[in-house]
Amino acid sequence: MEVKECVYVVSDSVGETADLVVKAVATQFNGGFVEIKRNAFVEDTEDIEDLIIMAKQGPSIIAYTIVIPALKEYLDKRVKEEGLVAVDLLHPLMDAFSGTFHKNPKNQPKLMRQLDDSYFRKIEAIEFAVKYDDGRDPRGLLYADIVLVGVSRTSKTPLSMYLAHKCYKVANVPLVPEVAPPDEIYQIPRGKCVGLIISPDKLNSIRKERLKNLGLTSQANYASFERILEELDYAEKIMKRIGCPVINVSNKAIEETADYILNVLKKERNS
What's the DSSP call for residue 13? S
Query: Do the annotations mark residue 56 as ligand-binding?
Result: no
Cα separation values, 29 from 33, 121, 180, 185, 214, Å? 8, 37, 66, 61, 58
Query: Do the annotations mark residue 27 as ligand-binding?
Result: no
Query: Do the annotations mark residue 156 as ligand-binding?
Result: yes
Strands 34-39 vs 60-65: parallel, antiparallel or unpaired: unpaired
For residues 61 and 87, the answer to whether their CB atoms sit within 8 Å is yes
Query: Do the annotations mark residue 155 as ligand-binding?
Result: yes
**DSSP per residue, 43-85:** -SHHHHHHHHHHHTTSSEEEEEE---HHHHHHHHHHHHHHT--
Query: Do the annotations mark residue 218 as ligand-binding?
Result: no
Query: Do the annotations mark residue 217 as ligand-binding?
Result: no
Angle at 178 between CA 174 and CA 182, to 5 degrees: 50
Partners of 34 in beta bridges? 5
Query: Do the annotations mark residue 151 as ligand-binding?
Result: yes
Query: Do the annotations mark residue 208 as ligand-binding?
Result: no
* Binding-site annotation: residue ranges for ADP: 150-157
* Binding-site annotation: residue ranges: 150-157
